[in-house]
Amino acid sequence: MFIKQLLNIVITLTLFSLPQFAKAQTNGNRDSLTFSKLPQFIIRFKDTTNRDTIIRILRSYNAIIKDSLGTNGKVILAELSGPPPAPFNNVIGIAEDAKTKAVVTGCEPNYAGKLPNSLTDTTRFHHSPLPASCRDTSNIRGRCQSEVGRDSTVIAIIDSGLDGVMQGNNLIPSESIFQNRLWNDGTGACGYNFLDNNKMPLDSNGHGTHVAGIIAQTLDFYGAKARFMILKTQDRNGQGTTWDVCRALYYAMSHGAQIVNMSLSYTSVDTSSAPSIFESTISAAGRDAGILVISAAGNNGRNVDTLNLSNLGKPLKYFPAAMKSTNLIKVGSTTCLSNLSTYSNYGKTSVDLAIQGDSIFSSVLNARWNFKNGTSMAAPFVTATAAVLASRRNLYPFNQATIKESMLKTVDNQSYLTTKVVRGGSLNTCNALAYYITHVGAQDVVNQQVAMKVYPNPFETSVNMEFDLNKNQSIEILIYNALGQNILRQKMEGQAGANTWSWQPAGNLMSGMYHVELRTSVGRSIQKIVRF
């Protein structure tokens, strides 16, 4: 699944005011080659590679295992335990050499990026004068949701966290708009902090809180419901790594998220057309967990369809705008005066659609509100629209493909977007909802949860599962730990009628929360279990 990919990656949150963007244009290429000096690299081994071989290869690079992801733990975060051995000067050289090993299917540095220092559009703070058409983004939406749907849809927001205070595992939001809207993992936690490895995803930057506020306001506008899973991957300075974003995606997969908002972008320098580990993880989220991912297109102001060169003459790639994952929607930004934002990435074959990302008023830190600009602000409108459609699950269960189709096939065509985005237009939530209700076919009806019972819960030495099938079929049972790491994957032949399955974990399995997932031909079910 993970194959040869990037030489150089920089993750950056995509929130820039226009003066900040001008600075980013000047320094962006140089930064893409000099940021992120972490002595870490991500390496994927073939599933058949034994532990001794993995350790031997890592030792040859003076590296040790720091973390792992995926089935059998063969996607590994490695860290140098000292200077890189000769003839390598850095992890970029190590990554290129590692890809020549027969048992290695991909390797890349674990790069990080950083936000600009100033994040807010302070000239427009608290409703300072704006053009009339900019004051209310409802002019780009319209009212159409006639009934409140169920709140079972879970939106994972991979970002800098949410503003509030902690009471035990409970995050108490600073803004009332988030009250009774947070997802719960069963212990009171609404998500995870991948920087500090705890259940306290508090925002110290403001970007994640602003994004979450846009989603919440839009859901309220349409009378729709959803719950927010808060996954913190960026620190107070906006710093984050590809590894933590991938960890967050695995967490979302194993904890039942249906929609992921990633107002993130990164730049890579690479001649390969193979997908990166990040892209492969997004694809796995769709293939293995049915997740729809909404992502900002990025604020480089570039045509991502064409070849862009770094200041060293190497080809630049702007991801996720250039990614091809079928479960991914990439969103550009327009102004409130019907133009493509000058900072927005675009591409007739890459960026799917656009919507207003300028002058968006939403929550920030310390229970305050502010205006911000960026494709980061455009993406949450699309995420919220996906949740509006999903809230009609009284008609149909969640289906990432049909929800994506409904939004992309019903855009408002705009002349200024004809050559800029794939669909040549801007999101229209009402059109998408009408299309979804009238065009979603009976094929979605079979994509339903399968009734299962897992006991005892909590357990100590063994777990039993009972479930019914409507016909003989191949099934798959997976177990994940609390961080979303897959620790068991078992395929078996199920029989029509009642079925049973038992698991006796190894004695060294840690106490704590786990998730059991059952996959069948008609859908999947997930249940939390706890080991003493």
Write down the pLDDT at residue 141.
Answer: 54
User: Which residues contact residue 306 at a Cβ distance below 8 angstroms, ignoring those fewer than 6 apart?
Assistant: none
Write down the pLDDT at residue 27.
Answer: 27
**Listed residue (9, 254, 236) closest to 110, CA to CA:** 9
CATH number attached to the domain at 452-531: 2.60.40.1930
**Listed residue (158, 123, 129, 121) closest to 21, CA to CA:** 121
Write down the pLDDT at residue 113.
Answer: 65
Write down the pLDDT at residue 169.
Answer: 94
In the chain, where does the domain assigned CATH 3.40.50.200 lie? 151-264+271-297+322-439
Q: Give the span between the Cα atoms of 211 and 361, in whole angstroms.
A: 10
Only one residue has tokens 């919440």, namely 216
In the chain, where does the domain assigned CATH 2.60.40.1930 lie? 452-531
Instruction: Kindly report, residue by residue over 315-368, the tens digit of the pLDDT.
Output: 777 888 888 999 999 999 998 877 999 999 999 999 999 999 988 889 999 999
Write down the pLDDT at residue 271.
Answer: 56
Write down the pLDDT at residue 182.
Answer: 97
Write down the pLDDT at residue 114.
Answer: 59
Write down the pLDDT at residue 526.
Answer: 82
Write down the pLDDT at residue 170.
Answer: 96
In the chain, where does the domain assigned CATH 3.30.70.1140 lie? 37-110
3-class DSSP state of 306 = coil
Write down the pLDDT at residue 121.
Answer: 40
Q: Which fold has domain 151-264+271-297+322-439?
A: Rossmann fold (3.40.50)
* Beta partners for residue 369, in sequence order: 363
By the 8 A CB rule, do 333 and 375 touch? yes
For 253, other C-beta atoms within 10 Å of its C-beta total 27
Task: Determine the Cα angle at 467 with ends 463 and 473, to 5°.
Answer: 115
Q: Helical H runs in 159-318?
A: 207-222, 242-254, 277-289
pTM value is: 0.80
Write down the pLDDT at residue 116.
Answer: 38
Write down the pLDDT at residue 487.
Answer: 87
End-to-end CA distance of the chain: 35
Query: Residue 475 corresponds to which tokens in the numbers above?
Result: 């099934």
Residues of the chain below pLDDT 70: 1-37, 71, 113-143, 145-151, 268-273, 310-314, 393-396, 439-449, 483-484
Instruction: Kindly report, residue by residue over 306-330, the tens digit of the pLDDT.
Output: 877 766 566 777 888 888 999 999 9
CATH superfamily of 37-110: Phospho-2-dehydro-3-deoxyheptonate aldolase; domain 1 (3.30.70.1140)
Q: Give the span between the Cα atoms of 315 and 91, in whole angstroms.
A: 20
* Beta partners for residue 309, in sequence order: 315
What is the DSSP pairing of strand 292-296 with strand 259-262? Answer: parallel
**Listed residue (170, 186, 168, 152) closest to 457, CA to CA:** 186
